[in-house]
Amino acid sequence: MEKKELSMQKTYRFRENFARDYFQDFRMLLDMAEDKLIDTLDEIIPILYEARDAHRTIFIIGNGGSAATASHFAGDLSKATICDGFPRFKAISLTDNIPSIMAWANDKDYDDIFVEQLKNFMEPEDIIIGISGSGNSKNIIKAIDFANNY
């Protein structure tokens, strides 16, 4: 894939066409990723519907900005997808329970903040979605490993 310079990199210092360049960059990045995103969504969506129809819980996790995305995604799945005559999605973001996160981080290890919550709530066949910009977050990797071996 050809490496392109983002408009934002050129104008950030000057802020002259900030909004226009932001959307131009967004379109370019979306175009570059569109096929992969569609393929990935085509794999994920049936799994989510299957979980919904079986009344399974979908746990969503992330760190930093990805924690906010996890929270938003759980809210959207729980509220914005309601259709009469169909079960509702049972989606929970484990990033939203700050007291639990802080307790596990303080008393045990930050790498275990999601695993320990899953030990309380996870049932067989539940789903976990980890959101990570790097793919290297130990707490997310540990949670997914736990879920895969549950």
Domain ranges (residues) in the chain: 40-148
pLDDT level of residue 22 (50, 70, 90 thresholds): confident
Per-residue pLDDT at 2: 56
Q: What is the pLDDT of residue 16?
A: 73
Amino acid, res. 114? F
CA 17 vs. chain centroid, Å, equals: 31
**40-148: CATH, from 3.40.50.10490, 3.90.580.10, 3.40.50.720, 1.10.260.40:** 3.40.50.10490
- CA distances to 4, 19, 21, 22 from 11, in Å: 15, 10, 8, 10
Pairwise CA distance, residues 130 & 69, whole Å: 10
* Model confidence, pTM: 0.83
